[in-house]
Amino acid sequence: MTKVAAVVTRFEQFAPKFIAEKGDPVGLQLGSLETDVKKMMVTLDVRPEIVAEAINNDVNFIFAHHPAMFHPVKQFDLAVPQNRMYAELIKHQITVYGAHTNLDNANGGMNDWLAAALNLQQIKPLLPSKELPLQQLAVYVPQAAAATVRQALAAAGAGTIGDYQGCSFSAAGTGRFVPGEKTHPTIGQPLEPTATAEEKLEVIIKPQQAAAVIKALRAAHPYEEPVYYLTPIHGLNAKYGMGRVGTLTKKLTVKELAAVCKQVFGLTGVRVVAQDLQQPLKRVAVLGGSGGQFYPAAVKAGADVYLTGDLSYHTAHDILASGMAAIDFGHHVESICKPQLAKLFTTWKQENNWQFPIIQSQIATDPFQFL
């Protein structure tokens, strides 16, 4: 059986928790990472109807974009529907994990999915890019075992640079040591000075990979006490950021782009902020969720229009005054995550030989209706 922890570890290689916005409650929401996954369901929200759907489908692991718990429970009053939902999750031993702004910020994550759905080109992060620090792992290994250790490091994900995998560097040298009296050295004898041909292997890893890579290193390394160290590096660091800005493949008017949004995201209506519905658009900024506060970044990026959700009255006036248009396509467009997450997890399932089924929630959780 596959533990929830194994699934989460693979996901966090894609969207580590530390790229989430400060204070965002991402990660384990309820249950145990040691739960054996029998059936997994991906969803946008964790609401009572979603939990009922999971129970009816014998799901014991819910993976959601929106955390089930944004605020801690101070009184577990079962008269409150949200608390009754927590009780049902506990009763049916369902583990819940939430990936919120780490999925928003991830390269290839939520905002890239939204940009791709609109067929935007020349895409860049909307908000200032942050850097994901990388580390160099160096380990000394006998030359005879170097290939085995190198392969184990690559299998654990070390040495990935862009689209290249298994990247490493080796330098030959001589290792010298004196085994202690109670040791059982692979090479040499206790208390005897020993010299042997070694290689220094160097690979680049992401911080969230460190534990798994070092575990693989120790398992493959022939020495009782392998010598290795980690060093922060600069220049190759991965960049990530919230939102995306790009260009349309052809110019559209505000009205035409609003119609595209309705069609692409299956919406019955959108809210439009524009001085002229026939204003031509080329450069588009998009940020899933509640992105009103970030509209100045869209203005600074030279966007003709800003696509986001939950625009407030006064923010809409400020956008109108800026001369930029905006389309509030709602928060629920983030339900695009369901098929995309299912696709990701299915790929990882095949790579890791996971045996559990993966399903998508079929319930729309948008609380709004347009009449």
- Band (pLDDT 50/70/90 cuts) for residue 163 is confident
Environment class of 3 (CB within 10 Å of its CB; exposed 0-12, middle 13-18, buried 19+) = middle
Residue 8 has pLDDT above 70, yes or no: yes
CA pseudo-torsion sign 337, 339, 345, 347: negative
Residue 370 covered by a domain: no
- 342-370 pLDDT, tens digit each: 999 999 999 999 999 999 999 999 999 98
Residue ending a domain, among 213, 240, 267, is: 240
Clarify whether residues 90 and 153 are in a common domain: no
- Band (pLDDT 50/70/90 cuts) for residue 234 is confident
| Domain membership of residue 210 as a residue range | 131-240
Residue ending a domain, among 194, 220, 240, is: 240
Closest CA to 309 of 335, 286, 329, 285: 329
To the nearest whole percent, how much of the chain has pLDDT over 70? 99
Clarify whether residues 137 and 224 are in a common domain: yes
pLDDT for 181 equals 93
Is 100 annotated in some ligand binding site?
no
Residue 247 covered by a domain: yes
Q: What is the CATH number of the domain that holds 343?
A: 3.40.1390.30
* pTM of the predicted structure, to 2 decimals: 0.81
Residue 75 has pLDDT above 90, yes or no: no
Clarify whether residues 215 and 139 are in a common domain: yes
Contacts 24+ apart (CB under 8 A), 336-341: 336/110, 336/113, 336/114, 336/117, 336/265, 337/42, 337/44, 337/65, 337/103, 337/110, 337/113, 338/42, 338/43, 338/44, 340/113, 341/42, 341/63, 341/65
Clarify whether residues 187 and 246 are in a common domain: no
Clarify whether residues 20 and 166 are in a common domain: no
Residue 161 covered by a domain: yes
Clarify whether residues 62 and 186 are in a common domain: no
Mean pLDDT, rounded, for 220-246? 89
Clarify whether residues 86 and 163 are in a common domain: no
- 121-147 pLDDT, tens digit each: 999 999 987 777 789 999 999 999 999
Clarify whether residues 219 and 232 are in a common domain: yes
Clarify whether residues 99 and 162 are in a common domain: no
Mean pLDDT, rounded, for 270-285? 98
Diameter of the chain measured on Cα atoms = 86
Is 88 annotated in some ligand binding site?
no
Q: What angle do CA 231, 237, 242 make, to 5 degrees?
A: 135
- 81-100 pLDDT, tens digit each: 999 999 999 999 999 999 99
Q: What is the CATH number of the domain that holds 187?
A: 3.30.70.120
Neighbours of 52 (CB within 10 A): 13
Clarify whether residues 293 and 213 are in a common domain: no
Clarify whether residues 356 and 278 are in a common domain: no
* 184-188, 295-299, 318-322: least confidently modelled range: 184-188
Clarify whether residues 124 and 152 are in a common domain: no
**Runs of H (alpha helix) within 199-253:** 210-220
pLDDT for 237 equals 66
Is 104 annotated in some ligand binding site?
yes
pLDDT for 18 equals 84
DSSP string, 123-141: EEESSPPEEEEEEEEEEEE
- Counted domains in the chain: 3
- 210-229 pLDDT, tens digit each: 999 999 999 999 999 999 99
- Between these two residues, 121 and 77, which has the higher pLDDT value? 121
Residue 28 has pLDDT above 70, yes or no: yes
Which letter, b or e, does each residue of 172-184 get, where b requires 16 or more Cβ atoms within 10 Å of its Cβ? eeebebebeeeee
Distance between CA 359 and CA 59 in Å, rounded?
9
Q: What angle do CA 369, 341, 29 make, to 5 degrees?
A: 80
* 68-77, 242-251, 311-320: least confidently modelled range: 68-77
User: 210-220 and 146-155 are packed helices; what angle lies between their axes, rounded to 10 degrees?
Assistant: 150
Residue 60 has pLDDT above 70, yes or no: yes
pLDDT for 132 equals 73
